[in-house]
Amino acid sequence: MELLVVLVVVALVVLVVSAPLRSGSAFVEAQESAERADLEAARDAKYREIRELELDFRTGKLSEEDFRAQDRALRADAVELLRRLDALGESEGKPSNRR
C-alpha cells in the first residue's frame, strides 16, 4: 500500500518535471515577454521616482532649482525606457502602476 503511494508520487513528479521537455517543438517561451516585463518594471520604478521627487519638493525638502533639474533627468530616463519598450514592437499599453 505504502509502496503504491510512493510509486504514484514518483510518477507524478516525473510527469510534471518532464512536461516542458516532452512538448518538444511546441514549447515556445516568448523571449520578448521577459524583456518586456523587465522593462515595464523599470519604467514603473522610474514613474514612482518621478512622483516621489515631486512629493519631496512639495513637502519642502528640495529647492525648486534642484527639483527642476532632477525632474528633467528622471523624465529623460523614462523617455528612454518608453523608447526601448516601443522598440520591442508592441503597443505601449497602460502602465500597471504596481506599488
Partner 1 sequence: MLIAGRACLILALVIALYGIGASLYGASSGRREWVASGRRAVYALAGVLVLAFAILEAAFLRSDFSFTLVAGHSSTTTPTFYRATAVLSSQEGSLLLWVVLLGLWSSLLLFLTRRRAREVAPYATAVLMGFAAFFCSLLVFLESPFVLSSPAPAEGVGLNPLLRHPSMMIHPPMLYSGYTLFAVPFAFAIGALITRRLDASWIRVTRPFTLAAWGFLGIGVILGARWSYTELGWGGYWAWDPVENASLMPWLTGTAFLHSMMIQEKRGMLKTWNVSLILATGVLAILGTFLVRSGILQSIHAFGASTLGIPFLVLIVVMIAGSVGLVVSRASELRSEHRLDSLLSREAMFLLNNLVLVGMCFVIFWGTFFPLISEAITGTKASVGPPWFNRVIVPLALALVLLSGIGPAIAWRRATVANLRRNLLKPALVAVAVAAALGAFAGAAESPAALAMFALSAFVLAVVTQELWRGVRVRRTMSGEAVPRALVSLVRRNRRRYGGYLVHVGVAVLFAGVAASSAFQTARDVELQVGQSTRVGGYDVKYARATGELQPAPNGRLEKIDFGAELQISRDGSPQGTLVTKRSFFPTSDPNLGPVSRFFEGEATSEVGLQAGLRRDMWSAVSPSVADLRPQIAEGDRVFTDAAGALSPEQRDGALAQALDGLTRSYAGDPPPATFRLIASPLVSWIWVGAIVVFLGGLVAIWPAPRTAPRPAAAAYAARVARELGRA
3-state secondary structure string across 83-94? HHHHHCCCCCCC
Q: Which of 34, 68, 88, 90 binds partner 1 (CB under 8 A)?
A: 34
47 binds partner 1 (CB under 8 A): yes
Q: Taking the CB of residue 53, how many other CB atoms lie within 10 A of it?
A: 19
Q: Binding of partner 1 at residue 90 (CB under 8 A)?
A: no
Identify the residue among 68, 79, 88, 90 touching partner 1 (CB under 8 A).
79
Alpha helices (runs of H) in 1-99, residue ranges in sequence order: 2-22, 31-58, 64-87
**Cβ proximity of 39 and 86 under 8 Å:** no
Contact residues for partner 1, defined by CB under 8 A: 2-3, 5-6, 9-10, 12-13, 16-21, 23, 27, 29, 31, 33-35, 37-38, 41-42, 45, 47-53, 55-56, 58-63, 66, 70, 72, 75-76, 78-79, 82-83, 92, 94-99
